[in-house]
Amino acid sequence: MSFPSTRLRRLRKTVGLRRMTKETFLGVEDLVAPLFVRSGRRTRKEIASMPGQYQLSIDESVVEAEELYEMGIPAVILFGIPAKKDKMGTGAYAADGIIQKAIAKIRTSVPEMTVIADVCLCEYTSHGHCGVVKKSKDGFEVDNDASLKLLAKTAVSQAKAGVHIVAPSAMMDGQVGAIRKALDDAGFKDTCIMAYSAKYASSFYGPFRDAAESPPQFGDRASYQMAPANVRDALREVELDVEEGADIVMVKPALAYMDIIRLVREIHDVPVACYNVSGEYSMVKAAAQKGWLDEKETVLEILTGLKRAGADMILTYHAKDAASWLS
């Protein structure tokens, strides 16, 4: 008698059999590469806490986008590092802002690549918060409604520059609806919205704040980002964003929130993205440099796991390396 466990092992015996019975397929087309864009020319400044990642001047971001597209990666998401910051984050929505210029240049040089732009104020404000800050009895609070106007203005400015997808990440209530209305009113009905719908107040963001030079100068972001313990809260956030017009919803971070990715995938029929964030990237890099992990095998296992959980697209700093390994 052949026991079921034996039959299962038979299907794992050779490389060919394992390939034939594989259930989850990870491809280069699933990946989105984040780029940090700064002022200057011919600048590639390595980010100390994110080995292999750089702050890039616009000309270098174009070169990077060209290389990524040649490797089969279909999209980039852009984060700006302005030369100057102020309390209202004016660099986020300036017509000649760093991201607006980068969008136009990449669209011209790599017209087939999908260009996504982060919509938030934290990279552009002198205080490092994701919206307009006002005084309160507790010291300070983010003014949700005032922030919505600036986020909508930012999205429209990016659409004018030629962006395909805007990605609101500020976690302001009503941001998707405000941005959708502003885009439609400005004649950009075809511009997609990828909403950071379930964005948790996570400890995994540390290296990103180094990269984007955007740590809060006071307080934290826990009053508007989600509590890591909450599930139902995430599902409500996603539902509201879908109702407001999000074309794609996102879960961020990814690795510690695979249960949320799975639940969102099961409940909603819109595309689901996840963000394999900076801390998740850096801890793999650090362990690999120590010889404690095989970097290639670990990265591909993580990315496959995120795809298996239900992600249709994965924003990841491993994109370039993964593309070379998957080719």
In the set 85, 101, 105, 199, the catalytic residue is: 199
Where on the phi/psi map is residue 32: left (φ > 0), alpha (ψ -120 to 50), or beta?
beta
In the set 85, 252, 285, 307, the catalytic residue is: 252
Determine if the peptide bond prior to 228 is cis (ω within 30°). no
Told to judge if 199 belongs to the known catalytic residues of this protein, a careful annotator would answer yes
CA distances from 242 to 142, 249, 261, 289 (A): 24, 8, 15, 41
Q: Look at residues 180, 82, 183, 172 and name the one whose alpha carbon lies nearest to residue 132.
A: 172
Contact 47, 211 (CB under 8 A): yes
CA atoms 153, 238, 132, 147: torsion sign: positive
Residues near 297 by beta carbon (within 8 Å), at least 6 away in sequence: none
Where on the phi/psi map is residue 3: left (φ > 0), alpha (ψ -120 to 50), or beta?
beta
Tell me, rounded to whole angstroms, the distance of Cα 17 from its chain centroid: 35
Residues annotated as catalytic (active site), given as ranges: 199, 252
